[in-house]
Structure 1
């Protein structure tokens, strides 16, 4: 998939088009919050110094609060260090810098490595008791995005919760590895742990309960949640986890998201990550061994690193952060015992399939029948006939929708469902499928095929994106309110079913022929049980040898 002239190899995109188009509105939206309004709680003293946010009498927003020192010069590719304290009241009324990335979700991209900051959104006033805390980790394939793109005012006020969104190092800055380099392939995950530690020490000053923290994220953020679920260093830093369109075993077969894509898993062995990093360093003129090679790499300007940003963006396992592959850790029970809310969208892969083929210079179009035939043969080989029989052409309006169903089921639904089965043996699990057939668009350019509930489309129900509220009809507004109720009920109690509205039973495997998956769609009967295994052909894929 492309944004501009760049290939997006993971299709873990989140907000590529919509945020870029709408960020210009963010300042206007934020400006509506007065720094002098509210109950006087717009100045909060953190452990490193005081910050002044904005308040409107209903909600307080604090942006760009440093939780770690700038990872620059000798701190580049090292574990996060505490920030320097400040004496004067720090302005926290505007977003902090996004971590270095190419243009895409962030208009113009970012070249600022002083980016390890977070944002706090809290209801105004002093609560009768500390509020539950939701720490949001943004998606973007581990190479783009920013926490400030997610406006959490609706979630904070309706759910009476404190919401924290974080930045973390991306791409080569966050997941570079090299032989002898401590922390290879894990700096972005270490940043997330540093932010969670900051929450433990500081969130009570914003009215939050450090003993009731939910780690939540979508796409790469959801994958991060699963990584932290299995990381010894995250023990005690959160008490529940929400994983949206992201699991411990996300991977893809050949050609899934674009022609020529190589099959891979998102988590890679340490040796593989270090070998890739050695090649990246050599490409940049920093060949050799430590310490000389790292001195060379740390001396490179950001401009030299951005062209190779996406060469190193796979978290590594086989280290102190992830001792084993996270999916294996789930299988053997080596994960933190916390309640889990997990799920995916019904039509995840329409996002990549809608722009699969070239349509001219700088233009893309949906997959054609000719391309479908070619990639089916290339991807499945001798098993092509079995896959075609499972997904007959008569069941789909186009080759693009047929391919999208195959990739959605094999890449997204299977990994999410199997993760839920592993977790449900030991902890409470609540599983969902977002199924709005016509959610608000994620791109300002109308797609040339039906998108359905594409990857990231559930985010509009939970957040204002890029400073803009969602364009929801009456049914979608009710769905959004119900989803926020479910999410914040889960954050408060570990059970989304305690929210008012349709019941949400646990996902159970023992003694249940069809584990409960909650379909989330607008309209009467839109919230209901769904047999996700049948709808997404999971029995076929489970028995399929790939």
Structure 2
């Protein structure tokens, strides 16, 4: 995800106020709910009730999350919690030096009967940036679900690895798992069904979902999974070995002056967080550590061998994922990719394979759009189908492609030189209220309602309105999701699947 944003797109939009559905002890006034730690008071409005900034665990530097302390009285839950420590980087995040930041947000619909399915949203951002409250869940909750989002540790505070830090290396997944335990223990009080929990993530959040599928420590905490734009099979690099993690961390530990200390752990815990963030930098996409009790196998191997939680999975990809990266570069330079730059770019990226790529992808009307299609097919479409096929051999799996071409662009930025279409993150504007994007048109809002209906139906039943993915002579069924009729995508031909395979 981080590659899709450039310095030209840095900036944080002001979050719009969102209201959700009441689940309260009283029939009038702000809604109050009793959790295992104490009572919380939220806000209510036309769509339902919202409870924000509820502690689900406490975080000490490089240590596993511990249970949150209880409180007396009624805790205010009308504002988001602290953003977890992260550097200045991209508009999906917010610079922060806060380390004790583990909170959840809960949204419920205004009118419902019985226990509702629960959707636990794990935000993206390369596991480097982001916060749960950026994604306003009002419309998704109004579709008939209790929606939970969270803040979890990112970047250096999650993934720094050293023998002196036995609990560090995958703290993002540990935090998310603690949030899932909080959901198991508390969601009934908000009207949710702890036996129908769907974990849902996009990009870095989708890779997190794959990590939980592969983690025996997460088994039983969820009953369905939605993976958006996160090809996490064996070609997707969804986890790291200990050797890789140690090699990634060594330069960071040296840069802050702790490598040669007798007490490396004590030194790292005493270093100002600003120095750790600077040493870790922004040009990384860290992944959870495998070879541990919580993640014994690399994620791809766990999926391939069937040693994962075999729950129903909805997995998908966007038709034009890399449009965002190419258009982000265009914003940075101020000019579109020149036609004469297309062939050199392909030759630089593909070396000895470049001639075959150029023959398969002749230059079209736009050099940037053509190059984006190449990258989308190689990096996203083909490995996403590979991942879905792997999952489908063991568990009920549905695959979709978000292919809508009339999608909102980023609010306040110059118009792109070619249609943004179904770029990376495009579907999020339909599932959530995300201030990063332009306001939806009526036609786009109608598609949003359909998508939300499909996602909530899957969370409730583990089913969709299209067939399961299966290896068969007729190929693999991938549902195309657009503002028109939903039908089978010509996925393998459209994305030259066999060429990349």
TM-score, structure 1 normalization: 0.85
Q: Which runs of no fewer than 5 residues in structure 1 stay unpaired?
A: 2-7, 253-264, 498-503
In the alignment, which of 161, 168, 191 is matched to residue 207 of structure 1?
Answer: 191
Matches within 5 A, 1:325-404: 325-356=298-329, 363-393=333-363, 396-404=364-372
Count of aligned pairs between the two proteins? 496
Q: Distance in 2 between matches of 1:165 and 1:493?
A: 21
1:281: how far off?
A: 0.7
Evaluate the alpha carbon distance shift between residue 58 and residue 184 of structure 1 in structure 2; reply closer, same or farther with a 3 A threshold: closer
Q: Which runs of no fewer than 5 residues in structure 2 stay unpaired?
A: none
Contact in 2 for aligned 1:18/1:443 (Cα 8 Å): no
Evaluate the alpha carbon distance shift between residue 36 and residue 18 of structure 1 in structure 2; reply closer, same or farther with a 3 A threshold: farther
In the alignment, which of 125, 128, 136 is matched to residue 113 of structure 2?
Answer: 128
Contact in 1 for aligned 2:238/2:298 (Cα 8 Å): no
Aligned equivalent of 2:176? 192
In the alignment, which of 312, 315, 319 is matched to residue 288 of structure 2?
Answer: 315
Is residue 51 of structure 1 aligned with residue 40 of structure 2? yes
In the alignment, which of 162, 168, 181 is matched to residue 146 of structure 2?
Answer: 162
TM-superposition CA deviations, 1:186-238 (whole Å, max 9, x none) = 10011110100100000001010101100001111111111111011110000
Evaluate the alpha carbon distance shift between residue 481 and residue 398 of structure 1 in structure 2; reply closer, same or farther with a 3 A threshold: same
370-379 vs 142-151, which moves further: 370-379
Matches within 5 A, 1:487-506: 487-497=455-465, 504-506=466-468
1:314: how far off?
A: 2.7
Q: Distance in 1 between matches of 2:210 and 2:20?
A: 36
In the alignment, which of 91, 100, 105 is matched to residue 91 of structure 2?
Answer: 105
Matches within 5 A, 1:25-44: 26=16, 28-29=17-18, 42-44=31-33
Q: Distance in 1 between matches of 2:200 and 2:228?
A: 8
Is residue 300 of structure 1 aligned with residue 262 of structure 2? no
1:100: how far off?
A: 1.1
Matches within 5 A, 1:133-532: 133-158=118-143, 160-249=144-233, 265-288=237-260, 292-307=263-278, 308-310=280-282, 313-356=286-329, 363-393=333-363, 396-446=364-414, 447-466=416-435, 471-497=439-465, 504-509=466-471, 511-523=472-484, 525=485, 527-532=486-491
Name the SS for the 1:121 alignment partner.
strand
Aligned equivalent of 1:261? none
1:131: how far off?
A: 0.7
Contact in 2 for aligned 1:21/1:444 (Cα 8 Å): no
The alignment yields a C-alpha RMSD, in angstroms, of 2.7
Contact in 1 for aligned 2:20/2:108 (Cα 8 Å): no
TM-score, structure 2 normalization: 0.92
1:293: how far off?
A: 1.2
Aligned equivalent of 2:12? 20
1:528: how far off?
A: 1.3
